[in-house]
Every structure is written in C-alpha cells, then in structure tokens.
Amino acid sequence: MISKPTLLLDEHKCKANITFMAERAKQFNVELRPHFKTHQSLEIGRWFKDVGVTKITTSSLDMANYFSKEWNDITVAFPVNILEIDTINNLASSITLNVLIESETSLKFLKKHLQHPVNFYIKINIGNNRAGLLHYDTESIDALLKTSKNSDKLNFIGFLGHAGQTYKCRSKTDIISVHEEAKKKLVSLKNQYKSHYPNIIASYGDTPSCSVAENFDGIDEIRPGNYAFYDIMQVQIGSCNVNDIAVALECPIVGIHPKQSEVVIYGGGIHLSKDRMEDDAFGTIYGNVAQKSDNGWNKLIANTYVRGISQEHGIVKVPESDLHHYTVGDTLLVLPVHSCMTADLMKRYKTIDDKEITMMMANL
C-alpha cells in the first residue's frame, strides 16, 4: 500500500521505449549511446543491454563511476571539470572514458595530469546556446587540436553537440526543422576535419530529434536519454504520445477544497521537481493527472492538472463535476513534466508488479 509519494514505473512501457530507439538507431545506421541520466539505475541499464547497447552516456563523473560497475565505455556529456582529476584518472584506469572539451585551459591541465589515456570530443554549440564552441570557431578548435597533438594520453575522437533547442518545439514538423539545422552544423564541421582525422565521429543528442527525425546522414552516434520514460513535456513537444510515458508519481490526497475545485496532494517540488510548462488552455502546469487502470495508468483525466506546487504540497485543479471522485486518504497519479528530474529526486522506483528498483545515490 502506498502511503507517501511513490514513483511508479511501467516496465512494459519503458522496455518498449528502449526497443523503439534501438530499432531507430539500426534503421538509420547510427550507434546508440543512450544517456543514463534519466533512469540512473543499474537494473534498468541492463534492459538496454538486452537490445544490444554497449556504450552509454552520463552527465557526471559520479554517475560514470556508478555505471562503471557494469559498463566499460562511458561518455560524460558535460564539459570536463578539472577539479575532479582524481576521479578521471581512477575511471580511465579501468574503462574507456570519453570526456568533453571546450576549454584550452582544461585540455592543457589534462595533458599534464592524466595518468591513463582518455578520449575526448570537442563540445560544439549547435544552437542550444548552453555550452560548447561555436561551430564556425575553427580558430579555437585548431588550438585545442594543436594542444592535444603530441599527447599519448589525449585521443581526439570527434565533435559532440546537443540540439536542446528542440525542447521549444511544439510539433513533429518543428522538431525536424530544428534538427536539420543543428545536424548540418555538426556534420559540416566533421567533414571539414575528416581529411586530417579520418576516424572522428559526429555525436548528436536530444530525445525529440532522435524520436521523430528521418534523416541522420553524417551522424555517427546518437545520445537520447529521456525517451526511456518520456513525460508530458515530450508529449507537448511532439516526441511521443501520452501512452508512451513510463513513469507516474502516485500521491496521497490530503485535502479537498470544493469552493476552489481543487485537491491538495502530498507531492510537491521535492518529488516532482519545479519544472513546469505552459499549457495553451490552463497556463502554467506542473503535471497532468492520469486515469488509474488495472495495469497502471492510461489516458489523461480531462482538465485535471497540477496548477501549483511548493516543497511538499501540490495543488490539483479538478472540474467541479469530478470532485466527487476524489477522497482524502486515496491517491492519484501525476505524470511529470520532466521525468529525469522527478526520478532524480525520488531515487527509487516501484514497478506496476510491486518490485522496487533502486537508483544511484538511493541509500544516501
């Protein structure tokens, strides 16, 4: 029996999503190096092995260390933090470690302090405007390559970009348009340097593009992550359908406010996160309520959503005609705006079959 906020995982939906992306990677002849920051679980990671995945992506060195128990080729898709040089050296002694470089200072530091060989991508800004060198900044790229050229510990393997700007899209057509522009920047850069570095690759990320785009010419590797669970943000973007969402937060009902047509739940920012999205009909929302079913959940309950959130509280807007369906002491299911953040906060899953799956840091 659930007595407090609990993150439910539909194993069947999750495995179907994992298979879906593996089949797309084969269809477009690209290597799938999925991002594991979404699920952060060794057990769920094994489900990826079942569809042939052999290489993975993480967002931190700590996460890479956790997954190094069962994976031996890991990309840390975050600009390298030289203050963690001891962790870098420890990991590089036992696995194939791939890091991201955008700073000549970082590269010079690694050149001096690395004890074991490390592969590196040059991080490229392909439109997300978050991190990385501009795709036309060949002066900075050349400086990095010159620095690494005579090192026996630094191995340049390609260019890496993340088309995070697809998260502003609201249709498949929009996603494909953004994808094509971002892909062009990365592929043209790879082609520009391929004569001198014939084995370099173009590594490309983001779940929306990898879920719906039909052209990956010139891309060698894709790194989606959110697709394992999806979420209502991905539905709004156009990446998936509601029935693809594999996680839901089950929340106890602690209050009913008939005059406001609202339900108070035990499920707030420390459970769902405070990630939000703008709905055309309802404004800012923090999650949608889903209909319970014998095997988990299915469709959304119309016009029922989390309209406000604080640390422990969630405020759910409910049509007046539906209020009689809710009772203090019952629970309801919230589909998260951003499943990666919700999972990171909850630290463990309960499957529909009542099995607990732990995550990285679950016992801290």
Give average pLDDT by consecutive 10-residue segment, the chain, 364 residues: 97 99 99 99 99 99 98 99 99 99 98 99 96 97 97 98 97 97 98 98 98 98 99 98 98 99 99 97 98 94 98 98 98 99 98 97 62
Question: Is residue 52 in some structural domain?
Answer: no
**pLDDT tens by residue, 216-254:** 999 999 999 999 999 999 999 999 999 999 999 999 999
Which pLDDT score, from 0 to 100, does residue 129 have?
93
| Residues composing the chain | 364
Q: Are 84 and 122 within 8 A, CB to CB?
A: no
Q: Which segments of the chain are extended strands (E)?
A: 6-9, 31-32, 56-58, 73-79, 96-101, 118-125, 133-134, 154-162, 201-205, 221-222, 247-257, 262-266, 277-279, 283-285, 287-293, 296-309, 313-317, 331-336, 348-351, 356-358
Which pLDDT score, from 0 to 100, does residue 362 have?
65
Question: Is residue 335 in some structural domain?
Answer: yes
Which residues are bridge partners to 159 per DSSP? 122, 202
Question: Is residue 208 in some structural domain?
Answer: yes
**Do 218 and 98 fall within a single domain?**
yes
Which pLDDT score, from 0 to 100, does residue 1 have?
84
Helix (H), strand (E) counts: the chain: 11, 20
Which pLDDT score, from 0 to 100, does residue 10 have?
99
For residue 308, give the CATH number of its domain. Answer: 2.40.37.20
**Do 218 and 114 fall within a single domain?**
yes
pTM of the model: 0.97
Domain that holds residue 215: 72-224
- What is the distance between the alpha carbons of residues 72 and 102, in angstroms, rounded to a whole number? 24
Total domains present in the chain:
2
For residue 193, give the CATH number of its domain. Answer: 3.20.20.10
Domain final residue pick, 177, 194, 224:
224
Which pLDDT score, from 0 to 100, does residue 16 have?
99
Which residues are bridge partners to 99 per DSSP? 120
Question: Is residue 44 in some structural domain?
Answer: no
Question: Is residue 29 in some structural domain?
Answer: no
For the packed helices 104-113 and 85-92, what is the interaxial angle rounded to 10 degrees?
Answer: 60
- What is the distance between the alpha carbons of residues 305 and 296, in angstroms, rounded to a whole number? 18
Which pLDDT score, from 0 to 100, does residue 126 have?
97
Question: Is residue 201 in some structural domain?
Answer: yes
